[in-house]
Amino acid sequence: MLEVIQIPVMEDNYLYLIHDKHSLQTAIVDPAVKDPVLEECEKQGWTLTHILNTHHHWDHTGANKALKAETGCEIIGFEGDAERIPGIDRTVKEGDKISLGSHHAQIFEVPGHTSGHIAFYFENSKALFIGDTLFAMGCGRLFEGTPQQMWSSFAKFINLPDETVIYCAHEYTQSNGRFALTVEPENTDLINRMVDVDRLRTENKPTVPFLLGLDKATNPFLRPNSAAIREKLDMKYASDAEVFGMLRSMKDNF
């Protein structure tokens, strides 16, 4: 199994340091800032060898060049966004695989939040590094994509095993859950999850990573086929993408 260490930075960002104990290769996912990454590497006795970027936004790539200058690590990102990812060395696309020692990650192209967003899926570790595409009980804003694009992106991972651990990049869970309750107020799984979320946040503990199966039961953006949600939105005969788009528009103004 991959070793994964979550590093909270700035207001609500999460970075993920991932390590293969056999090869000693170590990657950081979406490094917003440099010092916490290097400090954690020093604490663990690890040497940074890779940066994995899910998309180009500054709070995911801000430390790329500084970490590369310090460690000589290789920066990996989407080929279609090479001009927007600082210091990129290796480009990848849908269906490609990368290796971190004996661990292999499949690349999913998941546009919507940005036009060039990707995700890294380590099947053997049941770990999906999803950036800003999916959040606990929420999803990323559609800055460069359409509802149809984002819903099509979800189709690439929604049928992964329920035990898949989702590593998203922000602590937005409490707000997302409050919105979810407005569109599916009688969902008992959602109600129970929010009790846990509120407790964790009161204790200043993270609510992510989380299990895909739990999110499928409680995240309205993964549930546009829900009869309760469709009735609430008066969209009984709409497509899933249309329901998703309405939910995203409502959340934008929540």
19: left (phi over 0), alpha (psi -120 to 50) or beta: beta
- What type of residue sits at position 202? T
Parallel, antiparallel, or unpaired for β 118-122 and 103-109?
A: antiparallel
From the candidates 19, 56, 60, 103, give the one annotated as an active-site residue. 60
Determine the number of helices (DSSP H) and then strands (DSSP E) in the chain. 9, 14
Residue 55 annotated among the catalytic residues of the structure:
yes
- Determine if the peptide bond prior to 209 is cis (ω within 30°): yes
Q: Is 57 a catalytic residue?
A: yes
Residue 144 DSSP label: S
Please indicate whether residue 162 is annotated as part of the active site. no
Residue of 19, 50, 56, 57 marked active site: 57
Structure tokens at 89: 């060395």
AA identity, residue 154: F
Query: Residues at the annotated binding site for Zn(2+)?
Result: 55, 57, 59-60, 113, 132, 170
CB atoms within 10 A of CB 227: 9
Catalytic: which of 50, 113, 117, 215?
113
- DSSP conformation letters of 27-83: EEES-S-SHHHHHHHHHHT----EEE-SS--HHHHTTHHHHHHHH-PEEEEEGGGGG
Query: Tokens 């500054």 map to which residue?
Result: 58
Structure tokens of 2? 């991959």
Asked if 132 is an active-site residue, the reply is yes
16's enclosing H/E stretch is strand 13-19
Sign of the dihedral through C-alpha 23, 102, 32, 90: positive
Instruction: Please say if 113 is a catalytic residue.
Output: yes
Q: Which one of 59, 81, 117, 215 is the catalytic residue? A: 59
Give yes or no: 117 in active site. Answer: no
Known binding residues: 55, 57, 59-60, 113, 132, 170
| Residue positions annotated with a catalytic role | 55, 57, 59-60, 113, 132, 170
